[in-house]
Amino acid sequence: MMKICKYLAILVGLIFASCAGGKKEVKVEETLAEKMMHIEGMINVEAGKPNNFTFTDLGAWHGYGITKKEIENKEISFRGPIFLVNGGYFYENKNQSGLVKLSVVAKEVPLKFERKKATHTPGILQQVFQNEKLKISQRLIYISSDKSLTETIIENVGDQKNTLNLKWNMVPYTVDKEVFKTKGKTLIMNTNPHGAYGLEFNNDKIKLNITENGTGKAVLNNVDLKPNEKKTFYFVETFLADEKIDSERFLNQLETSPVKEGKSEIELFAENRKRWLNYFNEITKPNTKWLKDENNQRIAAKSLQTLITNWRTPAGNLEGEGIYPCLGYFNGYWAWDSWKHAAALVDIAPDLAKKQIEGMFMFQNEAGMVGDVVRYYKRDDNWRDSKPPLAGWAVWLAYEATNDKDFLEKIYPKLVKYHNWWYKERDANKNGLCEYGSTDGTHQAAAWESGMDNAARFDDAKVVKQTYGGTYNQESVDLNTYLWQEKGFLSKMAKALGKQQDAANFSKEANELKDKINDRFWDEKDGYFYDWSLSNKKMIKIVGSEGWTPLFANLASEDQAKRVKDVMLNPEMFNTYVPLGTLAVNDSKYEKDGYWKGSIWVDQIYFGVKALRNYGYNKEADELQERTLKNLEGISEPGVPIRENYDPLSGIGYRGVQFSWSAGHLLMLLMNK
């Protein structure tokens, strides 16, 4: 008791001393999620640098960045807005600078500033300009899918009072196509055929006008700043990706759509931080050993920012929300990609995950097929093929994470229809084992349907013409394994919805299909799963990543899993510098930068690591995962993009940049999902 009293007295004394001093503060240690909010520059948004990207958020169709190094001290502005429609490509002014440029005049002399800092942290752009008299700090966030908010703080850092004239100059991107107009506090720019742009300041004293040469201008004169005094200004930029909108309708829409919905700018910045912090809270919640490493924390931050940057809301032909694979050719919502994006986001951003799934099923046709890709312009959609059936996996993960029965009831009948479509139009001999195929009967589209566009196992495949197009003369182990897995998920969904007969039927079908898969695709001698040639009635002995799909789906037996594991861990085949490529490196068909003929795809690494963990090979899975996180080129370095695929022997990244499913599966690996 005496010891307790003694310690209590010491504690009270320390508290009293701290309070009495009046200067000491108790510093609360940041959580891991809060620390990750400070990670800078993981996405390269600086103009002029290789593979530079754009900062977007909340599904916006307009983005921003940091201006080029050559002009950093010549203008006070963020790069942009960059309009992202027109197939997903950038559309901005030629020198990649800002549309809204601030200039500061004191005593009729324009002041020069040096950019001291320009950075991108999760959910926000920030930059600082300074001279001997003034410091200008800017922050930019999104407050909705069509609105961004820019804060400008001007601080007097000198010892004299300053009287300033502030002018925000706006030069249209292409004078022959865009025209500025003003109405009250709002300036708009017609950006057809891309949409319409609007700018609104929060300060009634700022005057907007159009100059004789067609540029826009916002002016505020006689701003007094005492030493150490700060003044803050805000403006909101709106971009609607609607190629049919005209200026008058856009102005009316702006007037009827409150910019801030009654919230102060400070509250909006706080809400933005809270949302992004919640993303990181969910990422760190599993408390995995992987996220104790600072390099892996950077990978997680880069992966999350990649996914959120590629988020788009309804516009053009796209009726729902979703994640683009990346900008460039892979714009739009792609079926296989969408299921993977949703699976990665079910805990981090569950509403977005569900909308991603719903966004693809909005385009399901009457037969039940979900097309390969839907794009902003309907003419660019691809219905020549579908993609591997991972939809059930994504739907079940979303339901498990949210327990949203309304979502499940809405999606279940569509998923059943899609599942049945495979047996109607992709099982030519009606033996219960499906083949990849195409609606136009071409080999190319049938290969696309596998998701592994040029995989070596399809080199000798032929398309057999059917009334609905055609199917390969080859049954694939991954396709039928995914369908077996989906039957299990459909059975669980049916039980959750009280559809007991459906549940029993899908369970029975799964049991029957499991036997067929083992009989058809398992090679006892090689200890591996292969595709089957219907024409030659034998296995197609190409050792590819599809061979561990039955382990990923938990279909394989313990003995089968052990033998497949041995193949996966063979350094002459898959256990390379970056492990688990799409084709064994000792295969005669292996190619450097071969796309699906040997390159690393992070989804296949995830399926492989998950496969090993499903059967208790955690040590082996850890070794492969650790090497992946260490050896993918630039994966933890600021500004180096996450790539579409990689080289298994060197880790060099190939093709698409800021690739969403790579980012999603990296997060799943880090979260041990």
Strands 162-170 and 100-106: antiparallel
Q: Quick one: which H or E segment has residue 186?
A: strand 186-190
Question: What's the pLDDT tens digit per position in 419-445?
Answer: 999 999 999 999 999 999 999 999 999
Q: What is the pTM of this model?
A: 0.94
- Other C-beta atoms closer than 10 Å to the C-beta of 633 total 17
Residue with tokens 């009270």: 12
User: Which residues form the domain of 247?
Assistant: 34-267
Residue 554: burial class (beta carbons within 10 Å; 0-12, 13-18, 19+): middle
Rounded Cα distance between 397 and 346, Å, is 7
Quote the mean pLDDT of the chain: 91
DSSP letters along 209-248, please?
EE-TTS-EEEEEEEEEE-TT-EEEEEEEEEEE--TT--HH
Task: Indicate whether 664 belongs to any domain.
Answer: no
DSSP state of 26: P
Rounded Cα distance between 506 and 486, Å, is 9
Report residue 659: phi and psi, to 5°: -85, 125
Rounded Cα distance between 287 and 537, Å, is 49
69-76 mean pLDDT:
77
pLDDT band at 95 (very low <50, low <70, confident <90, very high): low
Using alpha carbons, select from 196, 175, 180 the residue that is nearest to residue 61.
Answer: 196
Q: Quick one: which H or E segment has residue 114?
A: strand 114-121
User: Which CATH number fits the domain that encloses residue 40?
Assistant: 2.70.98.50
Residue 370 tokens read as 């979900």
Q: Position 1: which residue type?
A: M
Residue 19 has pLDDT above 50, yes or no: no
Total domains in the chain come to 1
Q: Which strand ranges, in their side-by-side order, compose the sheet holding 230-240?
A: 114-121, 124-130, 134-142, 147-156, 230-240, 196-201, 186-190, 180-183
- Other C-beta atoms closer than 10 Å to the C-beta of 316 total 22
Question: What's the pLDDT tens digit per position in 578-634?
Answer: 999 999 999 999 999 999 999 999 999 999 999 999 999 999 999 999 999 999 999
Task: Indicate whether 566 belongs to any domain.
Answer: no
Residue with tokens 């059967």: 615
Residue 123 tokens read as 């959910």
* Of 128-142, 202-216, 241-255, highest mean pLDDT: 128-142
Q: Quick one: which H or E segment has residue 106?
A: strand 100-106
Q: Quick check: 534 and 474 in contact, CB under 8 A?
A: yes
Q: Quick check: 387 and 334 in contact, CB under 8 A?
A: yes
Give the pLDDT of residue 189.
78
Q: Quick check: 333 and 318 in contact, CB under 8 A?
A: yes
- C-alpha 220: how far from chain center: 40
- C-alpha 509: how far from chain center: 35
Residue 128 has pLDDT above 90, yes or no: yes
Question: What's the pLDDT tens digit per position in 270-292?
Answer: 999 999 999 999 999 999 999 99
- Give the length of the chain: 673
Give the pLDDT of residue 212.
77
Q: Quick one: which H or E segment has residue 386?
A: none
Q: Quick check: 206 and 182 in contact, CB under 8 A?
A: no
β-pair partners for 551: none
Rounded Cα distance between 164 and 342, Å, is 50
Q: Position 476: which residue type?
A: S
Higher pLDDT, 86 or 418: 418
Task: Indicate whether 345 belongs to any domain.
Answer: no
Q: Quick check: 79 and 45 in contact, CB under 8 A?
A: yes
Task: Indicate whether 133 belongs to any domain.
Answer: yes
Task: Indicate whether 112 belongs to any domain.
Answer: yes
Residue with tokens 């068909």: 589
Q: Position 627: which residue type?
A: R
CA dihedral 173→179→184→185, nearest 10 degrees, is 0
346-369 mean pLDDT:
97
Give the pLDDT of residue 105.
94
Residue 194: burial class (beta carbons within 10 Å; 0-12, 13-18, 19+): buried
Question: What's the pLDDT tens digit per position in 375-408?
Answer: 999 999 999 999 999 999 999 999 999 999 999 9
Using alpha carbons, select from 460, 430, 434 the residue that is nearest to residue 449.
Answer: 434
Question: What distance, in Å, lies between the first and last C-alpha atoms of the chain?
Answer: 49
Give the pLDDT of residue 18.
42
Task: Indicate whether 331 belongs to any domain.
Answer: no
Residue 110 has pLDDT above 50, yes or no: yes
Q: Where are the beta strands (DSSP E) in 131-179?
A: 134-142, 147-156, 162-170
Residue with tokens 């700060």: 230
Rounded Cα distance between 390 and 336, Å, is 7
Task: Indicate whether 492 belongs to any domain.
Answer: no
Rounded Cα distance between 426 and 70, Å, is 56
β-pair partners for 117: 128
Under DSSP, is residue 405 helix (H, G, I), strand (E, B) or coil?
A: helix
Task: Indicate whether 453 belongs to any domain.
Answer: no
Residue with tokens 């080029």: 68
Q: Quick check: 456 and 544 in contact, CB under 8 A?
A: yes
Residue 254 tokens read as 């702006």
| Sign of the alpha-carbon torsion through 478, 484, 486, 488 | negative
DSSP state of 544: B
What are the distances in angstroms from CA 4 to CA 1, 11, 17, 595? 5, 11, 20, 68
Strands 196-201 and 230-240: antiparallel
Using alpha carbons, select from 325, 440, 343, 432 the residue that is nearest to residue 386.
Answer: 440
Residue 514 tokens read as 């499991």
pLDDT band at 4 (very low <50, low <70, confident <90, very high): very low
- Other C-beta atoms closer than 10 Å to the C-beta of 270 total 12
What are the distances in angstroms from CA 322 to CA 79, 190, 374, 415? 25, 26, 11, 18
Q: Position 377: which residue type?
A: Y
CA dihedral 450→454→456→457, nearest 10 degrees, is 20
Question: What's the pLDDT tens digit per position in 136-192?
Answer: 999 999 999 999 999 999 999 999 999 999 999 987 776 554 567 777 778 887 666
